[in-house]
Amino acid sequence: QWPAVESGGGLVQPGGSLRLSCTASGLTLGDYAIGWFRQDPGKEREGVSCIGSTGGSKNYADSVKGRFTISRDNAQNTVYLQMNNLKPEDTSVYFCAPTLGACSPYALTNPPPGAEYWGQGTQVTVSS
């Protein structure tokens, strides 16, 4: 089971901001390129952003470009997703998972298929 834990979600008004965190115990996140994905019930999982193991490469879904920023602090074993100017359509459950191969546009459209990578996630709700 992928041991990462997501946190930082919540209820925010449109135009607001949240910062999500992905941490892990017993696992060095710095060994992996990490992606943030989101999924609503009954819908397919959607790639939001990913970052290379050293932070050198980053990719974003078109829907979040210019609003979301991914970063990582390997010393703190944490990957972040700063979400600004949130919109109601950003409402979803957000997950972090290792990408298939390097961080790339392909990795965002191809989340890892195994159920072991998908835990509780963190709920983000954007509503007035």
Q: Residue-wise over 37-68: b if at least 16 C-beta within 10 A, else e?
A: bbbeeeeebbbbbbbbbebeeebbbeebeeeb
Token pair 């819908």: residue: 43
> Are 32 and 54 a contacting pair, CB within 8 Å?
no
The residues facing 69 across adjacent strands are: 82
> Are 100 and 38 a contacting pair, CB within 8 Å?
no
Spans in the chain with pLDDT lower than 50:
none
Summarised one tens digit per residue, pLDDT across range 65-91 is 999 999 999 999 999 999 999 999 999
The predicted structure's pLDDT at residue 119: 85
The predicted structure's pLDDT at residue 2: 86
d(CA 75, CA 62): 30
**Chain mean pLDDT for the chain:** 95
Residues 6+ apart with CB under 8 A from 63: 89
> Are 7 and 124 a contacting pair, CB within 8 Å?
no
> Are 38 and 45 a contacting pair, CB within 8 Å?
yes
d(CA 45, CA 111): 7
